[in-house]
Amino acid sequence: MESAVSGFFWSFDQEFCCFLVVTVLLIFLILYFARPRVWCKCEICQSYMNTSWKNHFDNLCDWYTYLLKKSPTQTIHIHVLDNTITANPVNVEYMLKTRFDNFPKGKPFSAILGDFLGRGIFNVDGDLWRFQKKMASLELGRTSIRSYAFEVVHHEIEQRLVPLLESVKGKEDIFIDLQDVFRRFCFDSICRFSFGLDPKCLELTLPISKFAVSFDLASKLSAERAMTVSPLVWKMRRLLNIGDEKKLRKSIKMINKLAQEVINQRRKFGFSDQEDLLSRFMTSVSDETFLRDIVVSFLLAGRDTVASVLTSFFWLMANHPEVEAAILVEADRVIGQNKEITSYEQMKELHYLHAAMYESMRLYPPIQFDSKFCLEDDVLPDGTTVKKGRRVTYHPYAMGRSEELWGTDCLEFKPERWLKDGVFFPENPFKFPVFQAGIRVCLGKEMALVELKSVAISLLNRFHIELAPPQTTTPRFSPGLTATFHGGLQVLVRAQSGPSTLKNVYSAVK
Ligand code: HEM
């Protein structure tokens, strides 16, 4: 008995010693590899390391915007992260088009998001990317896709979104988190659109979705991996299954389980004669893990981006009644007073609304920055040298706030800047890379725009959104792969005032 007990303690000691040795070794390795960068003494790196930038800026993207503005080339380098960041459209075109092959996502990026996104389209290069792009383009590039998106979205608006907001309209003591509502709305819409299934997240009871909660956590924790000074930091935590890595593993386990349910259901209802994206992929992919990765990627693509744009758009509407009024005046003219929009074709006539949406995305892009890795030593058109293996980031958030690109009124919300003689006029996509640009441009842009404009016009026609106190002049964002308002968007829902009142507001500001 005694020897069994001492044997237990001996083996326990041995395990503990091994653990200690591995930990010390890993710490040593981290210190060794991260050494030259962590100890960079330049002002920017010091400010990044001791987070003193927070004394002056609400968000990291605001600090980067400030730094990029000060740089004569609109490009900066953060030594501790070995990260070159640019807001220069000529550099952006070079990365995303001219030298596309030299700026892939790269292995470091794939490793950071690998556990969450696996081999999904956002996380791969080469043949795996080409295959998924081809399949997705076939589906998302169909001309009928906009009308199909219109139908899916309008069903969700009429059956769930409007009844939910009607139920709280005019109630002075009920604040509702509009960001949460939009995420649920987008989750239902993208599932019906991409997988032909309805998760019913936006039912009146606002059921807690384990999938959605795990999804948010995995997105946040994966993004935070990219903020550590050396990948060894998160890799060690992952190996030891401690801290945030433990939480990430747990949330990914839940996502895997639920993604598998989506696949099983699609299989049960049949997929060979179905038109949705997942069914298309299922006809040529039999690897369950790969299908799981495809499901997760399309959820990320379609839910968080659109919900993020809707959140900032309604925040802007609450702060700009003159724009809200102008949108409604246009809708009255195109659709008719108090009438519902009935087709995608009708929506195309709403140029001012389209411009307001683009203006909202200029100031608040849902993907604030996007990184690639340099394959071979290169020189950007502005003269910045980029070493092999370096992370290179283009920054749509900073670009949208650049005086050089948008003029001295760049911080003002002015949809008119997108109109010529009342007609929407698109900008150079490398100056406005909100949907990325070049070879890997977003494939869901048309679907997204149908969704964004449909929600905007349907809600603005019925409701006026008022922000709950305390109101801030700029939003604070939470870390994540897409821009998310910290604390959500708490609002009161009121009835929309009549068109004549709005017209008065409109003429008063004109
Ligand atoms: C306002 C909404 C949206 C914005 C701003 C947006 C933006 C972007 C951006 C910046 C990328 C490049 C990401 C990267 O390579 O790192 C991208 C890629 C992509 N997006 Fe979107 N997206 C939106 C909505 C959607 C929707 C609704 C779908 C699908 C239905 C979608 C499907 C895709 C796909 C498949 C790609 C991958 C393209 C490729 O790698 O070849 N997006 N999007």
Please give the Cα distance from 96 to 75 (Å, whole number). Answer: 16
Mean pLDDT by runs of 10 across the 510 residues of the chain is 44 60 62 57 91 95 97 95 96 98 92 93 94 89 82 94 96 93 93 86 76 88 84 90 94 92 88 81 90 91 93 97 94 85 88 98 97 97 96 97 98 98 96 97 93 96 92 85 93 82 57
Choose which residue among 137, 305, 362, 393 to substitute to test ligand 1 binding: the one with the highest number of ligand atoms within 8 A of its C-beta.
305
pLDDT confidence of residue 193: 87
Binding positions for heme = 442
What are 463's strand-pairing partners? 495
Q: Are strands 391-394 and 83-86 parallel, antiparallel or unpaired?
A: parallel
What CA–CA distances, in Å, run from 435 to 220, 432, 449?
21, 8, 11
Angle at which helices 351-363 and 445-462 cross, to 10° = 110
Two tokens, residue 296 = 């997760």
- Listed in order, strand segments (DSSP E) in 50-157 are 75-78, 83-86
Tell me which residues have their CB closer than 6 angstroms to ligand 1: 121-122, 133, 136, 301-302, 305-306, 309, 366-367, 370, 434-436, 440, 442-444, 447-448
Q: Provide Rg for the chain, Cα atoms.
A: 24
Annotated binding site: 442
Residues 6 or more apart whose CB falls under 8 angstroms from that of 368 comprise 61, 395, 396, 397, 477, 483
466 neighbors 318 (Cβ within 8 angstroms): yes
Q: What is the pLDDT, as a whole number, of residue 16?
A: 61
Buried b (16+ CB within 10 A) or exposed e, 221-250: bbbebbebbbbbbbbbbbeeeeebbeebee
pLDDT of residue 5: 41
Give the bridge partners for 478, in sequence order.
484
Distance from Cα 496 to the centre of ligand 1, integer Å: 33
Helix, strand counts (H, E) of the chain: 22, 13
d(CA 277, CA 235): 34
Which residues have a Cβ under 8 Å from the Cβ of 471 and sit 6 or more positions away? none
Q: What is the pLDDT of residue 284?
A: 87
Distance of CA 187 to the CA centre of its chain: 13
CB 393, CB 370: distance < 8 Å: yes
pTM for the full predicted model: 0.89
Q: Which atom of ligand 1 lies nearest, measured to the CA of 448?
A: 27
With the most atoms of ligand 1 within 8 angstroms of its CB, the residue from 442, 443, 450, 484 to mutate is 442
Helix (H) or strand (E) holding 492: strand 490-495
- What tens digit of pLDDT does each residue of 481-495 get? 899 999 999 999 999
Which pLDDT score is estimated for 1? 41
Task: List CB contacts of 332: < 8 A, sequence separation 6 or more.
Answer: 499
